[in-house]
Structure 1
């Protein structure tokens, strides 16, 4: 278990020594500084959880040191130590962000209680902030499908989640659910109560990606006005998802490879070496073997990343998953948009099943969302689907339309439509809802045609 680290700052050697010995007996890790300048240096290098800061010191006094500490890390916990009669100064320090103060000569038992309370309060704040920042609940997301590919995938994911595998590579076309798979692994593992942090390597400029991953010290470059922790540091104990890893610049690939060797790094502009425990799940829609041949991806990084390789099949190769996925999304968007769509009409279902879905599950999800928003019926109808999908799809099952032959003399299409409306009504005993479903029409569209052809007064 990680021990809390306390920085003791006092210009009197005997007080520093006494506090150090007492705090070590309580199980804390302790570093000491004899003046403000040394305190600021150690705060950056040692990253203490709490600072005991004397107010009266030569050079940079406690108040000045407090202001600089807060500039460096506004969340740092500082307890001021003041001499008798310095109450007004101590209160001023609390206005500047100090957690509390204690007066000399202090009671060590009282100080222990204040320190314990401060650390517990800080831990609680961090936990609340972490939970608020989590956009997903800490249990595995649903992976929908009945196909052989999905069943095999779930077996692999279960093994990976239960293992200590620290590096996983997920490959598949855009929209196949690579981030969903990464989250399933994380939230099914013993890391589920730790952070899951995702970053799209293609969306962050190469000049900023190193800072995002490893962090930087104040003043490391022109705009580095404060110290910033990187994603690897923030996700310690959890998972970092590197999406579109195939688009990472070659120089950054070398730095990532070095990190993967022992999970250690330095912030930009810093000297301290940090070591973290994070699972790295990378994803790409690129053929990395081809990228290696083209000299745009490092061969050694590829083999380091694919300790556990996972390939996601495109939706066109697992058609039996299309309708279960569509029904799942109907349920999701019924809740989001307060709709009550109960199912999919036969012709619409056939169109969905036969379409090629170049955008995979993401495209299907968007199509269902659009249909739910625009439709008013309790069934998803053919007319609710985008025209480009209907136009590109020839149903491979259903009514034998291909046997119909256009007469040489031609035909009046409106007469055909009128006859179809009549037959649908006759076969359903003029139940308009059932008749509309037979023709894969929404009830409004069907009633419009009834009125058009004189069947509805």
Structure 2
């Protein structure tokens, strides 16, 4: 492991000394030990460490979250937060500092070592991305064509040097402004604005060559003829990530068909995010989902614990529907502040509030004809719930500050890990909205109830990170396999992914060892059920765990189910399956 220069920020002297001793034993250089946020900022300026271990709760005017944000903003130094407990408000503020990890006190030396290794690996990757971005920017600046990149909401994220000349806007001041404000497109025939054509191109799903005779008007009113192409940009899952515009002098531009002979011009193949399933329960679920996807049902509710893959299923439902070529826009209702969520979903009219200098279309507008995925639907505030109900019932809504209804054609997929029925009883969720959402419900079972999916998922993530980390890991050892099957995976697929990613960084051999996973077996209420020695198959492992749980619970099925982390009905099914009566 490459030594790192690390600053410790901890106001408990004993804890700080323990951490310093551990870091020294691991070969790291401790640049300073600070006991307050203000001192930490000053020391970071002097020493410029590679990493900061930051206690999230510090005494004084500047706590750990504020100090980490200031150090990140001013010096580009990332932090790992140390905490014994933290309230939701503190955690939300901590996220602003983009920490590379959280370590819960008390922690083991191996946990600290793994967290530092992961953090330094991520910092290296971030540095490489920055270098690559700078190299790409310099390359694009050398082009004679203008290049503008925008996100899926039509907001500008990048201009190259030539685009700055054409538009009269600098990159820094154009970021996150509407594309139609920066790139003013006019018809060459009558000078009419072509905002609708521009919008359709940006939200389309194929390469578009704009009509001949288009003109671009700069910020100071200068108009120039332009040849323009627009192409969609996709993220790693195949979902829309916005678009890129390329434009220049029409006299020297070569049509796309001639520039790339044999390449389809207006073609596109939607890419599904891979679904890794082996269990019969998930096969049945996906069969049902395929039927629902191809139907004309307008509202689907996806239930499941955190990390089971509700977003992956939502993308599957979209891509396998008649709307598959239309936009798919996802919104995490819990991740956006309440004051911004309403305008993000419904948009606003010019003058709706102080900073509303122009009309802004919301997610429901932009996804017209396609699918909107609302994750964490249980976190919606009551007044937004009422507006969502109207969209579901009538497919209409009003923008903030608007006086006219906007009609849309949408499929709305919602997801939550909350008990919405209980939320209705608690009066925190509208009863009428609940019944409207609950027309078609798909419940994704947790990993602990479909252990047949664990090893295929592990193999999938090993292949993924072999490619990403340029490794050649062949698989897992037999001991690791048993540990993977014995673990209850409260974080579900997300936890499996994180565990394999961590192991791929730490493991030096060609097979993942148990110690690389850093798992604490939580199959029972901390340890009561172990894997039987010599168990060779999933069935043997599962049967052994059932027998042990029933013995330890003196035959009480409710207690045995709690030990195994499964429902009583699931336990009874497996007792019958293995003839354990």
Q: Deviations over 1:85-118 (max 9, x none)?
A: xxxxxxx9933487969xxxxxxxxxxxx9xx99
Q: How big is the shift at 1:71? A: 11
The corresponding residue for 2:170 is none
Q: Which runs of 5+ in 1 are unaligned?
A: 1-69, 83-91, 102-113, 401-457
Which of 322, 328, 335 matches 2:460?
A: 328
Contact 1:138–1:192 (8 Å) recurs in 2: yes
Structure 1 contact 196–238 (Cα < 8 Å) conserved? yes
Matches within 5 A, 1:215-364: 215-364=347-496
Contact 2:350–2:359 (Cα < 8 Å) also in 1: yes
Aligned-residue offset at 1:249: 0.7
Structure with the bigger RCO (C-alpha within 8 Å, sep 6+) is 1
Cα 1:161–1:230 change in 2 (3 A) is: same
| RMSD (Å), alpha carbons | 3.1
Partner SS state of residue 270, structure 2: coil
Query: What is the aligned counterpart of 2:532 among 370, 373, 397?
Result: 397
Matched, 1:171 2:303: yes
- Shift of the 231–71 alpha-carbon distance from structure 1 to 2, 3 Å rule, reads closer
2:65 aligns with none
Instruction: Assess if the C-alpha contact under 8 Å between 2:186 and 2:217 holds in 1.
Output: no
* 1:334 shift after superposition: 0.6
Residue 293 of structure 1, CA deviation: 0.5
- Aligned equivalents of 1:76 and 1:285: distance in 2? 44
**In 2, Cα distance between equivalents of 1:200 and 1:191:** 21
Partners of 1:322 and 1:280 lie apart in 2 by 30
The answer to whether the Cα contact below 8 Å between 2:329 and 2:373 also exists between their aligned partners in 1 is yes
Deviation at 1:395, TM superposition (A): 3.5
Q: Is the 8 A contact 1:144 1:325 kept in 2?
A: yes
Is 2:482 the partner of 1:377?
no
Residue 78 (structure 1) aligns with:
186
> 1: distance between equivalents of 2:487 and 2:352?
52
SS of 1:297's equivalent in the other structure is coil
Q: Compared with structure 1, are the counterparts of its residues 216 and 76 closer, same or farther at alpha carbon in structure 2 (3 Å cutoff)?
A: farther
How far residue 72 of structure 1 moved from its aligned partner, in angstroms, is 8.1
Instruction: Note closer, same or farther for the CA distance 1:100–1:263 as it changes in structure 2 (3 Å cut).
Output: farther
Q: What is the TM-score when the length of structure 2 is the normalising length?
A: 0.48
Give the SS at the match of 1:170. Answer: strand
Which of residues 94, 97, 103 is equivalent to 2:217?
94
Give 1:210 deviation, angstroms: 1.2
Q: Secondary structure at the match of 2:414?
A: strand
Residue 252 of structure 1, CA deviation = 0.8
For residues 94-133 of structure 1, the aligned pairs below 5 Å read 94-96=217-219, 125=230, 132-133=241-242
Partner of 2:5: none
Q: For residues 204 and 131 of structure 1, do their structure 2 counterparts lie closer, same or farther at Cα, with a shift above 3 Å needed?
A: closer
Structure in which a larger fraction of residues adopt helix: 1
Q: CA 1:264/1:399 → structure 2, altered by over 3 Å: closer, same or farther? A: same
User: Do the aligned partners of residues 278 and 100 (structure 1) sit closer, same or farther apart at CA in structure 2, a change above 3 Å counting?
Assistant: farther
Displacement of 1:356 after TM fit?
A: 0.8
In 1, are the aligned partners of 2:183 and 2:216 still within 8 Å (CA)?
A: no
Q: Residue 226 of structure 1: CA displacement? A: 2.5
Structure 2 regions of 5+ residues with no counterpart? 1-177, 192-214, 244-267, 536-581
CA contact (8 A) 1:72 1:227 kept: no
Partners of 2:294 and 2:462 in 1: CA distance: 32
2:62 maps to none
